[in-house]
Amino acid sequence: MKEQHLQLYSPSYMSKILIIEDEKNIRVTIKEILELNQFTINTAENGLIGVAKALQFKPDLIICDIMMPEMDGFETLKNIRSIKEISSTPFLFLTAKTDKLDFREGMNLGADDFLTKPFNAKELLQVIDVRIKKSKQDRQQYIHQINSLKKEIEVLQNSINSLSHNNSHVLRAPLLKILGLINFLIDESEVNSTINNEVLEMLKSACLELSVATEKMEELLNNI
C-alpha cells in the first residue's frame, strides 16, 4: 500500500495495539504502519490466540478481522467483552465484509468502529487516534467520579464518627450500608474502568438525604 509509510503523530503516541488478522500480508502491513507511528504492537493470527494475547498484553485498542479460522471476529469480540480485565478495551473491526447485518451484529456485540478493506492508512490512523483518545477521556472521567465519591464517603464517615453511637444507630445502619455498596461498586469498577451511573446516582442521592438527616440529628444532640 502506498500509504504504509504515512506518519501521524498524535495523542495516541506509544499506545499498545493488538492486531488479530489471519492474512499475514495484511497483518504485517498494519504492524509496519503502526510501528512507524510509535505504537507498541502485538499480533495474533486468529481469535483464539488473540484473546489469550489480549489478556497478557493488555492493549489500549484491538484491531480484528471478522472472517478468520478457529474463532471469527464476532466470537472474539464476545470473549473479549466477557473478560473483566479487558472488557472495556476499544475494539475496531477491519473487514472486507460490508453487509449491514454484519455491521449491526458487530455493533450490538460492542464493537467501537468498523473499517473496510482495502483500507487507507491515514483513515486507519485517524480512527485509532479517535478511539484511544475517547477511551482515555472516559478513563479520566471515571477517575474523577471515583475521587468525588471517595471524598463524599470521607465526609459522611466523619459525620457518623462525630455522633454518639447510642443516639445515632438509626442513621448509622442505613448509611453504612450505602457506603458499603458504593465501596463495592468502586472495587468492581476499577477492574473494568466502567461504573454503573444509574446505581451510583441512586446511592449518591440516598447518601445526601442521610447526610442532611445526620447533620440535623447532630444539631439536636448538641442542643440537648
Taking the domain 2-119, which CATH number applies?
3.40.50.2300
Q: pLDDT digits over 34-76, tens only?
A: 999 989 999 999 999 999 999 999 999 999 998 888 899 999 9
Could you read off the pLDDT of 142-152 as tens digits, one per residue? 777 777 777 77
- 161-185 exposure pattern, b = at least 16 Cβ within 10 A, e = fewer: eebeeeebeebbeebeebbebbeeb
pLDDT at 167 over 80: no
Sign of CA dihedral 5, 6, 7, 11: negative
What is the number of other CB atoms lying within 10 angstroms of the CB of residue 99? 9
Omega cis (within 30) before 69? no
8-state DSSP, 47: H
User: CA–CA separation, 194 vs 88, rounded Å?
Assistant: 8
User: Which range among 4-18, 112-126, 207-221 has the greatest average pLDDT?
Assistant: 112-126
Percent helix, strand, coil in the chain (nearest 5)? 65, 10, 25
